[in-house]
Homo-oligomer: A and B are copies of this chain.
Amino acid sequence: MKVASKPASVSQSLTPHDVARIRANFPILGERPHGKPLVFLDSAASSQKPVQVIEAMDDYYRRYHANIHRGIYHISELATEAYEEARSKVARFIGSPCAAECIFVRNATEGLNLVAYAWGRQHVGRGDVILLTEMEHHSNLVPWQILAQEREATLRFVPITKDGQLDLRSLDRLLAGAKIFAFTAVSNTLGTINPVTELAARAKSAGAVSVVDACQAVPRMPVDVTQWQCDFMAFSSHKMLGPTGIGVLWGRKELLDSMPPFLTGGGMINVVEYERSTYADVPARFEAGTPAIAEAVGLGAAVDYLQGIGMERVHNYEHELAQIALDKLGALSNVTIYGPGIEHRTGVISLTVGDIHAHDLASILDRLGICVRAGHHCNQPLMEKLGVPATTRASFYIYNTPEEIDLLVRGIEEAKRIFKIA
């Protein structure tokens, strides 16, 4: 790490000492798969959890679990408060002026579907355009395909450049007639950081609502919806130190207020008669049934943890790791790295090694205790575009170290030896 020589950035990033302290909070880092220390380089798929998050949920179940909202007794009041407090924490974390703008869903995927169903079905008609990009995760692609099929709408795609950035030269033409522009803030395959503020502004000028897939952004960088000026944004708890089973759809209040319910049942109603019902205000309107209460508590603890570090520092540290990784991996023969240069990307790095298939590489690394993802990363069409069947992806987070990058480099060298590649 070049920290020592860059004093200005020290306070803005994590020191080895900080990282050591962080690592001590993650019990799983003590595991030894195949007898090797765990080197977890798959946080883009799902991050690990600090004890603070695990214990917050544990504590919830041991001390104050009860169904929320309709309970008058003490522990139900505590549970209700904790659930709503988690919503407020999330809202503050993403710069939302109003907690009611944060809907708890299962994961980002459900959040994106919610928009496609509840907003999309209301506004998208025959011949309308839905604009996406060529780097979307299946979760920000398939829901729009289905909407387009149902409504005979047209899908368009912002193309990507050779180095994996959005090619915005024809954006205005593509946006013409668009009702929706859905795009990712950060590519989960290429690591590309997209210019969200610009994209949202241009969507608005064209009369389209902007839907931001912030799955890879919220865990890794300061995100502020007020600054981004987008309309909807979805992300998952499990990628940002929080539990599985919960995610967030954020939406501008006026838009959410105008939308019909999607999933219906207990908790989202106002008056129910046998034949018809009226519905509660947001956010309750979009949270049918007993919600993921313990998970909200866990997500709140994850937000606290990240805020305790500071998202600027999280982002800068990951950037440093990305720089080191690009330098070291880029120096290896027969290694191809996809995506843009360091100034446009975050710590998600996809690569291929000679003719070694990604699965074979991942299997070999696994034996060294190194966890990477191999495959299409829910980006099948992008893989076609890149002309590879699959890539191996290493992704870094606050608990990773430069030493782990060295282990990755050695692992790749070993794979080359086994596959008899120079």
Contacts and interface: CB of A to CB of B under 8 A. Distances in A.
A294 to B, nearest CB: 5
A381 to B, nearest CB: 5
Given A243-B294, A290-B46, A28 B380 contact: no
A289 B139 contact: yes
* 5 A-B pairs with least C-beta separation: A109-B289, A139-B265, A245-B292, A245-B245, A109-B265
A38 B365 CA distance: 51
Instruction: Give this chain's copy count.
Output: 2
Contacts of A74: 33-34, 366, 371
Tier of interface size on chain A:
35 or more
Contacts of A143: 263-265
Nearest to A41: B73
The majority secondary structure among interface residues of chain A is mixed
Contacts of A33: 73-75
A65 interface: yes
Interface string A253-291: 000000001011111110111111100000000001111
Given A46-B67, A61-B28, A378 B290 contact: no
Given A54-B58, A66-B42, A380-B273, A138 B266 contact: yes
Contacts of A377: 70
A157 interface: yes
Contacts of A244: 65, 245, 290-295
Contacts of A139: 264-266, 288-289
Nearest to A50: B61
A101 interface: no
Nearest to A243: B294
A8 interface: no
B277 A145 contact: yes
A307 interface: no
14 contacts: A45-B67, A67-B238, A109-B289, A110-B289, A113-B265, A139-B264, A139-B265, A141-B272, A146-B261, A157-B274, A244-B294, A245-B293, A267-B378, A274-B381
A236 interface: yes
A375 interface: yes
Contacts of A107: 289-291
A378 B27 CA distance: 41
Given A27-B61, A28-B75, A109-B264, 7 more contacts: A31-B64, A46-B67, A46-B290, A65-B244, A107-B289, A142-B272, A145-B277
A155 B28 contact: no
A46 B65 contact: yes
Interface string A376-406: 0110110010000000000000000000000
Interface string A215-236: 0000000000000000000001
A146 B66 contact: no
Contacts of A113: 263-265, 288
Contacts of A271: 380
A261 B261 CA distance: 19
A57 B246 CA distance: 15
Contacts of A263: 109-110, 113, 143
A269 B72 contact: no
A351 interface: no
Interface in A80-116: 106-110, 112-113
A106 B374 contact: no
A275 B70 contact: no
Given A65-B48, A65-B49, A274 B155 contact: yes
A212 interface: no
A259 to B, nearest CB: 14
A386 to B, nearest CB: 13
B45 A54 contact: no
A272 B138 contact: yes
